[in-house]
Structure 1
């Protein structure tokens, strides 16, 4: 697909959403989930920064960021335990 077609589709979708109005709840939910995933990635970054001294490294990807973002500190601890003892 050429870039011109992609830009035209995205522009049309934006104009349609501006004209019709957006449903607030789904967009708010998607924003909250995205924010939690970013916070989870930040948790994992700090875990890798401080855990590197002890040989602990948990990869930062969508799955681990989602787990640590949704579950919080217990999720990060669970990922660290899985990384140390299981993998």
Structure 2
């Protein structure tokens, strides 16, 4: 088989996938997760700003952002407790 034929088949399948709407559901979940990660990062920034005078600092990276974004306020509380008492 020629490469142009294989590329044409793959391109046709991708177009069929987009036209059928099957790709909308995974994209929705990716968008929701991205919004939660951004909200978690903003909450961590607030904790670091207001907790700076109390000596509370939680590093902002992918793991802490994911924990705070998915778990919310309890996740941030857990991160602060882990940072203060364990690490």
Whether the TM-score (by the shorter chain) exceeds 0.5 is yes
Moved over 2 A (4+): none
What stretches of structure 1 of length at least 5 have no aligned partner?
1-15
Shift of 1:63: 0.3
RMSD: 1.3
Shift of 1:79: 0.2
What stretches of structure 2 of length at least 5 have no aligned partner?
1-10
**What is the count of residue pairs matched by the alignment?**
70
Deviations 1:42-68 (A, max 9, x none): 010000000000111000001000000
Residue 59 of structure 1 aligns to a residue whose secondary structure is coil
- What's the TM-score once normalised by structure 1's chain length? 0.76
Deviations 1:26-82 (A, max 9, x none): 000011111101100001000000000011100000100000000000000000000
- What's the TM-score once normalised by structure 2's chain length? 0.76
Please give the alpha-carbon distance, in whole angstroms, between the structure 2 residues aligned to 1:44 and 1:83.
Answer: 13
